[in-house]
Structure 1
Amino acid sequence: MINSIIEGISISLNAEFGDNYTTYTESVEQGLKEPCFFVFCINPTNRVFLGKRYFKTNQMCIQYFPVDKDRKKEECNAVSERLFDCLEYITVSGDLARGTKMNAEMVDGVLNFFVNYDFFVYKKEDTVSMEELSESVSVKG
């Protein structure tokens, strides 16, 4: 599920910003091409809700590394406004998912954008059925 969310975010970022912005989902040792985004899940949780229903919380972080070193804040502010719009709805496994709890902060010239994608999940239980059932019924009187 988390990988599907990351894929949905990457598709939405590419649709909004185009091919000039690289999106990374794994760490990069060398050759970081700016401007770029890093997408990763920070704190996934899974708790029982009712019966076989589970509530999954997926807090995602999208980091943006600006290209203009002289005007980092201005560029990050413009990107954060666009991220609020393009990440409100993403497609996850063919279904729309809505982003909640969105917020942005700048740390050391890098924009950190946080968004939650929360889902209810129903787990099916494998049942073993009987091969044959016979029943005998009689009426008294």
Structure 2
Amino acid sequence: MINSIIDGISIKLNQEFGDSYGIYSEEIKQGLNEPCFFIAFLRNGQTQVIGQRYFKEHFFDIHYFPKSVTDRNLELNEVAEELSDVLEYITVNGDLIRGTNMNSEVVDGVLHFMVNFNLFVRREAVVEESMGDLAVTGTVRGD
């Protein structure tokens, strides 16, 4: 599920910003071409709601590395506002998932846009094979 959400985020970013923006989800040792996005999966959680129904939480930090050197803050502010609209809904496996708890901050000239993608899932119940028939024979002793 996590990789499917990363794919959904990547597709949505590419649709909005185009091919001139790089989109990465693996660590980049060298050759970072700005402007670009880096999708970092932070953590996930799961809570059983009832029966086979679970609530799954997925926390992401999307880094944006700006191209501009002179108007860096202006560019970061514009992208932060755009990401709020762009990531409100993404498509994962044909279903829409809503981004929640969106917030952003700039650290060392890089925009960090945090977003959660939470959803309910239903697990299939495990059907256990029945034991079969059991025959018991016995007698009752009386006084």
TM-score scaled to structure 1, two decimals? 0.89
Residue type of the alignment partner of 1:108: D
Residue-by-residue CA offset, 1:12-38 (whole Å, 9 max, x unaligned): 000000000000010010111110000
Residue type of the alignment partner of 1:77: N
2:6 corresponds to which residue?
Answer: 6
Residue type of the alignment partner of 2:57: T
1:97 corresponds to which residue?
Answer: 97
1:87 corresponds to which residue?
Answer: 87
Return 5+ residue gaps in structure 2 as ranges.
134-143
1:118 corresponds to which residue?
Answer: 118
Q: Aligned to 2:118, what secondary structure does the other structure show? A: strand
Residue-by-residue CA offset, 1:55-107 (whole Å, 9 max, x unaligned): 11111111000011222111100111111111001001100011111111100
Return 5+ residue gaps in structure 1 as ranges.
134-141
Q: How far is the alpha carbon of 1:128 from its aligned partner? A: 3.9
Higher radius of gyration, 1 or 2: 2
Alignment partner of 1:78 is 2:78: yes
Residue-by-residue CA offset, 1:101-140 (whole Å, 9 max, x unaligned): 111110010000011110111111231456x99xxxxxxx
Residue type of the alignment partner of 1:92: V
Q: How many residues align?
A: 133
2:41 corresponds to which residue?
Answer: 41
Alignment of 1:7-26 (within 5 A): 7-26=7-26
The 2-side partners of 1:42 and 1:93 are apart by 21
The sequence identity of aligned pairs, in percent, is: 51
Q: Aligned to 1:19, what secondary structure does the other structure show? A: coil
**Runs of 4+ displaced beyond 6 Å:** none
The 2-side partners of 1:73 and 1:79 are apart by 10
The 2-side partners of 1:103 and 1:76 are apart by 13
The 1-side partners of 2:14 and 2:48 are apart by 35
Q: Aligned to 1:97, what secondary structure does the other structure show? A: strand
Aligned-residue RMSD, C-alpha: 1.6
